[in-house]
Amino acid sequence: MIDLEQPPSLQIKLAPVLKTKSPFGGLSIAIVIISVWAISLGFLLFLDISQFKFLMLMPIIVWQTFLYTGLFITAHDAMHGVVFPQNTKINHFFGSLCLFLYGLLPYKTLLKKHWLHHHNPASEIDPDFHDGKHANFFAWYFHFMKSYWSWRQIITLIIIFHFTNRILNIPSDNLTYFWVIPSIVSSLQLFYFGTFLPHSKPIGGYIQPHCAQTINRPIWWSFITCYHFGYHKEHHEHPHAPWWQLPEVYEMSK
């Protein structure tokens, strides 16, 4: 049986700054995000879009991208043990499920890498950091993605695409617009708002130990852009605060 607990050397022993209002709050939000994503994708894959122009599809693609980002953010919260802190197995199950649905990503691998990131931000051993030479957006993004994706995952996804298209008769356009494109755009969204902006070197240099900065936005815009992940300094300081409490953590820190 695989042990998904964080290794002792990778644990951050900080108590949550806020008490969860309901013991099932994180689990309920996770179930809602997964359910809405699944229902939305299931409907869109069988939607007749033959009469749709691409501009008409854009809002739908943006919506599906937002839900994909929600899957990853939920998995991220599971890595911090806040989806269902009362039961570690259930917590990690939902994290594993979200990453599987997101793109067949291995939860255990990402769990270890994410805690390495928290303990060594903006360093040579930070798996989320750039290569030390190329800090521009695209070079950093491709370096970032290379450490998380494998040819096995890519080939498996291609097989799934052709299986659902040819065997299940799901139109390739629907698969492309509502499955492939949203997942790719979501990775760009997560990288830009969750890594590139908060961990780019400020003019005055990094502030230790977290090397993270907050990009403050109106709360509605903060939610839409990346589930409040712009409050990144607060996330590093209080890694056991779930994503929906980060604005409150920011207000308290002020």
Given a contact cutoff of 8 angstroms between Cβ atoms, the answer to whether 29 and 251 are in contact is no
Q: What is the pLDDT of residue 11?
A: 40
Given a contact cutoff of 8 angstroms between Cβ atoms, the answer to whether 44 and 64 are in contact is yes
Given a contact cutoff of 8 angstroms between Cβ atoms, the answer to whether 76 and 84 are in contact is no
Count of domains for the chain: 1
Helices (H) and strands (E) in the chain, counts: 12, 0
Instruction: Tell me if 6 is assigned to some domain.
Output: no
pLDDT in tens, the chain (254 residues): 344 444 433 343 344 445 555 678 999 999 999 999 999 999 999 999 999 998 999 999 999 999 999 999 999 999 999 999 999 999 999 999 999 999 999 999 999 999 999 999 999 999 999 998 999 999 999 999 998 989 999 999 999 999 999 999 999 999 999 999 999 999 999 999 999 999 999 988 998 899 999 998 999 999 999 999 999 999 999 999 999 999 999 998 77
Structure tokens given for 215: 């990009």
Instruction: Tell me if 30 is assigned to some domain.
Output: yes
Instruction: Tell me if 37 is assigned to some domain.
Output: yes
Instruction: Tell me if 135 is assigned to some domain.
Output: yes
- CA-to-CA separations, 205 to 54, 70, 213, 240, in angstroms, rounded: 43, 31, 11, 26
Coil, helix or strand at residue 91:
helix
Given a contact cutoff of 8 angstroms between Cβ atoms, the answer to whether 30 and 83 are in contact is yes
Give the range of the structural domain holding residue 166, as residue numbers without chain letter. 24-253
Dmax over Cα atoms in the chain, in whole Å? 57
Instruction: Tell me if 41 is assigned to some domain.
Output: yes
Measured CA to CA, the distance from residue 184 to residue 72 in angstroms comes to 12
Percent of the chain as helix, strand, coil, to the nearest 5 = 60, 0, 40
Instruction: Tell me if 243 is assigned to some domain.
Output: yes
Instruction: Tell me if 8 is assigned to some domain.
Output: no
Coil, helix or strand at residue 133:
coil
Tell me phi and psi for residue 148, to 5 degrees. -115, -20
Instruction: Tell me if 1 is assigned to some domain.
Output: no
